Structure 1
């Protein structure tokens, strides 16, 4: 597949000296050209409207001082190349590396940056229709695909609270969100956030969906750390987020449950893939969070 990409890249007048697959991302290619690094991303199940909205949105965010990954224009001034039903977009690499180490200072910085991103996203008016991020629906779809023993081990009591939680969640104000805001899509250098990447799946949802998706990604990376360190990490992030934008008590009250929802989705995904060793670690971790009063207090400040 690498060789035909050279012809594709001529649409951007790029002559790469090297092209390689990005580990764990089969639809992403990293390439070097004239001492610059680029990423070519293969977009499946996309559309012209989605790719144009990505360009418009990321251009808006850059104008507002938020460093994000923006698709480069081709020689025909389009933010993509379409081959058959597949879209390809090219991006120049941003400074920094994905979040991998969670110091309290770095988490506070991520919280502040994400809050600023949400403030700008709220100001943006979409040109095309953007779908809603239906977190509850997605969870129920995952549940329906699991065996009953798996559900029981994840706690029937927790799942029984889903209807009550979703009623309150749906009443929250919806806005444009990143919707794939996991730690690997946030870049840092020397302890500061340098940018956010991968705006392929922008959707509408309460802003805490992004916040909790990040925190779930963080917690699954910290599953073997001490409980007090996990909760202090949540608190540090929350301090950063609220230094720029205050969360309501209702939002903070719904967040612990939403983080659990995302952790469950990760667990169901790994179970589906047959990673039983990961599942056997996540299930007791999730059950411990559900039963912990300290966990819920970590979101309050």
Structure 2
């Protein structure tokens, strides 16, 4: 791929000095640009539209670099290449930092606020975590013979989600919130990246995805229960400094996190990836055992907002 990138960079009048792969489909160029490769033209054009719309709302996202012919991307060998300016900042390395947890909560809420403002300009169909739970997720678990997650466990969690789902606010969300996609420079948010999975769904999905994802980090310095609960408190407090969650949302947070981990377990089962499926189940079980502590932490953060 390096050679192909070198061949097409003249379309942007960019000289190829240093070329560094930063993601499976993205390369950093000369510490100044990022080139991303797409196989799906519609997804590429959708992402360009999201970025342009968010920029108009003064949200820090990467700005597209036009080709010398004024085009937004280049098609080459049945792939689509997009070049954007590299945003300042980097990923957070200390995932236990409570101040950064609070700032992440703020950053998620700021993005949600912008999404609400510009959602009418973007065409997205509704996606439903509940429909996924009752659809492909259940099918994958059943096909596997319920060997990892017991059918009763699944049914109880799905029923809890269904009982409150219609009461949960829906909007456009990022859908892939983790420290790798939110950049910080000198302690301040400097940019959002990667809108490949953006969709309309329940609003708290992004918050729950981020919090559950902290437990899934493959690191030697794993969270203790107390450390993670403190992060839950900080993230919710940061989020609610900008957007107030409804009472139904607060009560549904443990259930939504559990559903997300069931989703991951079912996904990895479908990929025959037993290790990561078990990891997801372990996180699911951990969250189950923390339900009352999570609700208590949310209530405490509510008092302090």
| TM-score category (smaller protein) | 0.7 to 0.9
Q: Say which of 172, 181, 184 aligns to 2:180.
A: 184
Q: Distance in 2 between matches of 1:190 and 1:128?
A: 32
Q: Distance in 1 between matches of 2:119 and 2:279?
A: 42
Post-superposition shift, 1:132?
2.4
Query: What does 1:133-148 align with in structure 2 at a 5 Å threshold?
Result: 133-139=127-133, 140-146=135-141
Preserved contact between residue 50 and residue 122 of structure 2 (Cα < 8 Å): no
Preserved contact between residue 69 and residue 198 of structure 1 (Cα < 8 Å): no
Name the structure 2 match of 1:68.
61
Q: Distance in 1 between matches of 2:207 and 2:197?
A: 16
Would you say 1:254 and 2:247 are equivalent positions? no
Distance 1:74 1:276, change over 3 A: same
Structure 1 stretches of 5 or more lacking a match?
none
Q: Secondary structure at the match of 1:204?
A: strand
Q: Say which of 110, 117, 124 aligns to 1:123.
A: 117
Q: Secondary structure at the match of 1:193?
A: strand
Distance 1:171 1:13, change over 3 A: farther
Preserved contact between residue 183 and residue 218 of structure 1 (Cα < 8 Å): no
Q: Distance in 2 between matches of 1:159 and 1:214?
A: 21
Q: TM-score of the superposition, structure 1-length normalised?
A: 0.85
Q: Distance in 1 between matches of 2:215 and 2:121?
A: 35
Name the structure 2 match of 1:13.
13
Q: Say which of 94, 107, 110 aligns to 1:101.
A: 94
Structure 2 stretches of 5 or more lacking a match?
none
Deviates most, 142-151 or 230-239 = 142-151
Deviates most, 6-15 or 266-275 = 266-275
What's the Cα RMSD here? 2.7
Q: Secondary structure at the match of 1:76?
A: coil
The C-alpha deviation readout for 1:210-260, integer Å capped at 9, x for no partner, is: 222222222212883210111111110000000111111111122211112
Preserved contact between residue 105 and residue 191 of structure 1 (Cα < 8 Å): no
Would you say 1:227 and 2:225 are equivalent positions? yes
Q: Distance in 2 between matches of 1:295 and 1:222?
A: 22
Distance 1:89 1:257, change over 3 A: same
Q: Distance in 1 between matches of 2:296 and 2:78?
A: 48
Name the structure 1 match of 2:85.
92
Q: Distance in 2 between matches of 1:155 and 1:69?
A: 43
Preserved contact between residue 108 and residue 237 of structure 1 (Cα < 8 Å): yes
Q: Distance in 1 between matches of 2:81 and 2:244?
A: 38
Post-superposition shift, 1:272?
4.8
